[in-house]
Every structure is written in C-alpha cells, then in structure tokens.
Amino acid sequence: MAEYRITEEALDFLKRVCEAVGPSGFEDDVLRMFHEYASRFADEVVRDNLGSLVFVKRGGSERPRVLVAGHVDEVGFLVTSITKEGYLTFTPIGGWFDQVLLSQRVVVKTRRGPIVGVIASKPPHLLTPEERQRVVTMDKMYIDVGATSEEEAKALGVRVGDPVAPLSPFTVSATGKTIMGKAFDDRLGAFVAVEALRFLRESKIEHPDTLYAAATVQEEVGLRGAQTVGWAVDHDVAIVTEVDIAGDVPGIDPRDAQAKLGKGPTIVTYDTSMIPNQKRKECVI
C-alpha cells in the first residue's frame, strides 16, 4: 500500500484554514475553503441544514457507511456592545480560561472586513491590593480596536453580534517539529478526514465501503453539527478525529493526561458522553 505523505499544497491549505476566522455559527469562510480543497476528491458533496459539509467517496459497496468527522468551528467571542469611548464588550463562544485572554490580539470580523484589536482591562497600576490577587474575569475585559468613540467604531463596520477570534499566525517552531497557531481544535481533525479522502483517491486504493469525510459545525457550543451529520449520513461506523491534551508538560500528573506530543494518535476509552464500541476499539488497537 502507498505511504501517506503530507503535500506542500495540503500544508498550505491547513495553514489557511487554521488562520481563518470561524467561531461556532460563523464557519462559512472555513467551510468554503474545505469545499474548494476537498470536493475534487469526492464523488459527491452534501451539506446538511445546519451547514456541515460531507464529502462522499464510494467504494465497492454502499454499506458499510464509514463516517470520519472533525469539526471546523473554533472557540471565539461575540461583540455584545460598543461603549461611548469606542471599546467593545464581548461574550465567549465556547469554553475559555479567562486567565489566558489579557493582551491577546484578536480579529473582529465585520461587514466591511477584518479589524485587529487587543483584549485589555483596567490597568494594574489602578488595581487595589485585593484586586491584584484575583484573576481578571472576562466581564471586566474589553476589546480595543483603536477607536476613540462609538461612532468611530461603528464607522469601521463594527456591529453588535460580530464574531471575534484570536489573531494567531500558523507558525513552524524553531525545531521544525511542531507548529503554533489557533483552531487546531478541531480543524486538524477535519483536515485528517479530507486527507484520508485525498489519499484514497490519489493512490487509487479500493475499499469495500462508502467513505463520508465530514467537516462539522458548532461543536464548541454543544456538538450540534455531529448530531445532524449523523442523521444525514446514516452511518454504520463513525471515527471522530479530535485533538487531545498533551500530558508531557510541567505540572501534569501522567495519570491525568497520558498522551505525549509526537508519540502517535490516542484513543478515547471513555468520557461522560460516550463509551466507544468495544469491538471497534480493539480493531483499531
């Protein structure tokens, strides 16, 4: 069997989709990029009513239907108001750890194009001793886009309801072995799904089933796209390609996170919402 290798085109595609702004509910640009890249490898492309894309490759038989799915939405924010001084208040889309937010550069996706801002809060010089001991919470933060009035911010195209995402360029580390960036959760998983599709097509590998490679939406706000894709595909087997927590960093007990970066894929054996099919798990192992 042919050996999989990532191509320069595929790596450039991964870079572009990870840098794109696409929090849950605002995935259209990312989905368009996936469609442009992967549709040529599919026999059919299906889009469900929630927006998820499914690329179909038919093999020797209609069934079993094998679904390989990753979600393309990312955690982000939503503009909730514009102050009279031109600052933007915001609410989270998906789960965030407040402690990582201050001084983060972000991109506000407006109707007139992207605007760069930075997350800020009350200066530490003006905090009381008690306030200095506490983590600044998200409700005390704002986004500064450089505007000095509400009117100026609106003139830039900013409106309540605009999506916001971190500004985090796709960057290869100094060692060349790792990559820094955003939205790896879980555009990497969706990338794996469509790369499996590409590999089967370009290597002319025969398979006795039908492959459904899915790029799903709105995972970060309740696994919504995964549910509707399951109904649309009516699959027999599903493989969810998701990210995991790397346990090889300081302060982590190996019992809490056994995965290690660069040591291969991991298999989830249990979580509070899913117990995997045991025969399938043993087959993969």
Q: Is residue 284 over pLDDT 90?
A: no
Same domain, yes or no: 34 and 153:
no
Residue-wise pLDDT tens digits, 152-166 = 999 999 999 999 999
**The pLDDT of residue 100:** 94
The better pLDDT of the pair 3, 193 is held by 193
**70 and 144 assigned to the same domain:** no
**Strand-pair partners of 57:** 211
Residue 23 contacts residue 163 (beta carbons within 8 Å): yes
CB atoms within 10 A of CB 49: 8
Domain count, the chain: 2
- The predicted model scores a pTM of 0.93
Express each pLDDT in 210-224 by its tens digit.
999 999 999 999 989
Q: Does 283 map to a domain?
A: no
**Token output for 131:** 């306030």
- Cβ neighbours around 283 below 10 Å, total: 9
Specify the amino acid at residue 35.
H
Q: What percentage of the chain exceeds 90 in pLDDT?
A: 78
- Residue 49 pLDDT > 80: yes
CATH code of 127's domain: 2.40.30.40
Q: What pLDDT does 180 receive?
A: 95
Q: String of b and e for 149-185 (b: at least 16 CB within 10 Å)?
A: ebeebeebebeeebbbbbbbebeeeeeeeeeebbbbb
pLDDT higher than threshold 90 for residue 276: no
91 and 53 in a common domain: no
Cα 202 to Cα 65, 77, 196, 259, distances in angstroms: 20, 39, 10, 31
Judged against a pLDDT cut of 90, whether residue 19 lies above it is answered with: yes
Residue 159 and residue 84 share a domain: yes
The average pLDDT across 55-59 equals 96
Q: What is the per-residue pLDDT across 106-146, written as a single tens digit (0 to 9) for each? A: 999 999 999 999 999 998 888 888 888 888 999 999 999 99
- Same domain (yes/no): 112, 160: yes
Span 228-252, average pLDDT = 92
Per the structure, the complete domain to which residue 87 belongs is given by: 76-167
41 and 121 assigned to the same domain: no
Asked if residue 1 has pLDDT above 80, the reply is no
Q: DSSP character for 125?
A: G
* Spatial strand order in the sheet of 210-216: 44-47, 53-58, 210-216, 65-71, 237-240
More confident residue, 80 or 247: 80
What share of the chain in percent tops pLDDT 70?
100
Rounded to 5 degrees, φ, ψ at 56 are -105, 130
Average pLDDT over residues 1-21: 93
Q: Is residue 219 annotated as a catalytic residue, yes or no?
A: yes
State the chain's mean pLDDT as an integer: 94
Across 33-51, average pLDDT: 96
Confidence at residue 127, expressed as pLDDT on a 0 to 100 scale? 84
16 close to 33: Cβ distance less than 8 angstroms: yes
27, 74, 219, 220: the active-site residue: 219
Res. 209 pLDDT band, cuts 50 70 90: very high
Same domain assignment for residues 81 and 114: yes
Q: What is the pLDDT of residue 271?
A: 82
Domain with residue 207: its CATH number is 3.40.630.10
